[in-house]
Amino acid sequence: MVSGHVHTLPTEHMCEVSPYHAMVESAVNCHLIQITVAAVFGVAPDALTAPTRSSATVAFARQIAMYVAHVSFGLSLTEVGRRFGRDRTTAGHACRMVEDRRDDPAFDGMLAAIERAACACAQAADSRWETMN
């Protein structure tokens, strides 16, 4: 998945949301991801965007949230970094660290469940937009 410094997006992990939702709702999508990951790791959602590293658990949860925002929701590394109070190089590092652990079946299963949960929330919001318009 990582080729030099370029992180490619695997289409099998992309969350299907409308272009309108993706464009207008990147902040909401990041919040959904933060809430989902925070619930899995038992940390406060705000801790994922705190300016300090905090505990190893929070740092690891943040890396997973950044990965999901980039890979599953297609946000650029610059946008991911901005949404998490970091820069694009930190977001890229997070994606590489998470990707390197996907060979572990238990980790991959947990990550896939997080991706499905966050995408399900985004798709429900997408349906809400369609029914309201």
**What's the predicted TM-score (pTM) here?**
0.81
Q: What is the pLDDT of residues 99-123, one digit of tens each?
A: 999 999 999 999 999 999 988 887 8
Domains and CATH numbers, the chain: 18-132 (1.10.1750.10)
3-state secondary structure the chain: CEECCEECCCHHHCCCCCHHHHHHCHHHHHHHHHHHHHHHHCCCHHHHHCCCCCCHHHHHHHHHHHHHHHHCCCCCHHHHHHHCCCCHHHHHHHHHHHHHHCCCHHHHHHHHHHHHHHHHHHHHHHHHHHHHC
Instruction: Tell me what the mean pLDDT of segment 87-97 comes to.
Output: 97
